[in-house]
Chain A
Amino acid sequence: MIIIDGVRKSFGTLEVLKGIDLTVEKGEVLCLIGASGSGKSTLLLCINALEPIQAGRVLVDDIDVHARGTNQNALRQKLGIVFQQYNAFPHLTAIDNVALAPRRVLGKSKKLARELAEHHLAHVGLGDKLHHYPSQLSGGQQQRLAIARALAMEPDYMLLDEVTSALDPELVGEVLDTLRLLSDEGITMIAVTHEIPFAREVADRVAFFHQGVIHEIGPAKELINSPRMPRTQEFLGKIL
């Protein structure tokens, strides 16, 4: 379970998160929606401590993420993250991209790490691209590679940061299919997304961000089909 409790985050004088409270249960799929700059992506980075926070706390399975003495590296092994710009490692083939962290961070044997990588690449439909470098893959393939890379650490949670935003429209489908697969398998996911129909279909709950606060949160279908707050209505009206 992830508990976010009164989190505040500023960049210089600009306050991006103005007190976020949120609880995510095991097995839940939560989508964060809202205009760009509303703080959704920053929240993801605060959950796995890639960004420090100024106030509040984040608890992942009862561990205080930002507390002094917390082993953040160990913690991040439980929290897979996938970015908008895929960020595949350009100097490694697909299989080495995926095998790197299991081998070096989890200390698995070379053989085991590669088997694991093969399994996860096949899982996201890249079984025939094992020895391709990222530069030889399309954007959609690179993003699926990034998802496989995160999954190979066998995380308890997946943080997805606008994973389809950088893709050409015709490539969005293949990545969303992969995410559907994951949600069917019951992996806990927090996904920042602009794909409202996808959120409606896959998410259990949806949270609407506005100017650094959660403006409205509720069951996915309910919130998207009949939002209560005028701001949410306005946003969904524009985007749908």
Chain B
Amino acid sequence: MFDYRFQWRVVFRHWPELLEAALLTLQITVLSVMIGLAIGMVLSVWRKSDNPLLYWIAATWVALARNTPALLQIYLAYFGLGSFGLHLSPYTAVLAAISFNNAGYLAEILRGGIDAVNPAQRNASLGLGMNRLQMYAYVIFPQVLRAVFLPITNQIIWAMLGTSLGMIIGLQELTGMTTFLQSQTFRPFEFYLAAAIIYLLVAEIVLIAARLTARLAFRW
């Protein structure tokens, strides 16, 4: 047992590639959450709409995003859309699929948050002459975001984990790059351990950034 010689130097030699890949992971994570949040807000409002078409679109999106594997969603974006002549790059496919997935989960989270806001805030806003868009933008959602801040943070971490699926369609984010490097050096354990540590760090950075944002944004 353990007659294996660990070689860490080879990992250190490749730190620029790993750093670059980690930044790509971080980038897709942040972008996909921002896109997902924007779409999720619209969907959460549509799910409360009296308009049957809007309700149906939102309910279907949420159900599809939540009841199928994220990997399948990536496959659909990458291979499936080709049937419509839409050929996405691995980067775009992963970003689109993870954003689609985030939007579905975030819509459910936000819907719970809307229910948690005092319903009287609606009349207070409308009574001042606001339209619905203004009401949601300036009164309801600022309060929703605070109410569901913790679940949203969890979703950000989940999105980060989800980006690793990009490896399977050849995207060189952190997992993809790690796979590539270990195939060059035959040092899977060292490289994947390094990747695991970097993921932990990225998650920690995301959580700290989220907490700082919360402290700045939610002073009331």
Contact = CB atoms under 8 A, between A and B. Distances in A.
Given A45-B123, A83-B120, A101 B129 contact: yes
Contacts of A90: 143, 220
A188 interface: no
Interface size class for chain A? 20 to 34
A226 B168 CA distance: 86
B145 to A, nearest CB: 9
A98 to B, nearest CB: 10
B123 A104 contact: no
A47 to B, nearest CB: 11
A91 B137 CA distance: 12
Interface string A137-150: 00000000010011
B128 A76 contact: yes
Given A83-B120, A90-B143, A133-B219, A50 B127 contact: yes
A233 interface: no
B120 A87 contact: yes
Interface in B138-156: 138-139, 142-143, 146
A51 B39 CA distance: 30
B124 A135 contact: no
B167 to A, nearest CB: 41
A80 B220 CA distance: 25
A177 to B, nearest CB: 23
B220 A104 contact: no
A239 interface: no
Query: For B128, B142, B218, which residue has the most chain A Cβ atoms within 10 angstroms?
Result: B128
Interface in A67-95: 73-77, 79-81, 83, 85, 87-93
Contacts of A135: 220
Contact of B134 (A89, A104, A150): A104
B126 interface: yes
A133 B220 contact: yes
Contact of B126 (A50, A85, A89): A50
Q: Give the secondary structure class of A's interface.
A: mixed
Contacts, number: 68
A77 B131 CA distance: 11
A101 B142 contact: no
Interface string A86-119: 0111111100000011001100000000000000
A89 B121 contact: yes
Contacts of B194: none
A135 B143 CA distance: 14
Interface string B37-54: 000000000000000000
A89 to B, nearest CB: 6
Contacts of A101: 128-130
A105 B129 CA distance: 7
Contacts of A76: 126-129
A92 B123 CA distance: 17
Interface of B: 118, 120-121, 123-124, 126-131, 134, 138-139, 142-143, 146, 218-220
Those 7 A-B pairs whose CB atoms lie nearest each other, nearest first: A77-B129, A87-B124, A101-B128, A81-B127, A133-B220, A76-B129, A91-B142
Given A83-B127, A100-B128, A100-B138, 13 more contacts: A73-B126, A73-B129, A76-B129, A80-B127, A83-B123, A85-B120, A87-B121, A100-B139, A104-B130, A104-B138, A105-B130, A134-B220, A150-B127
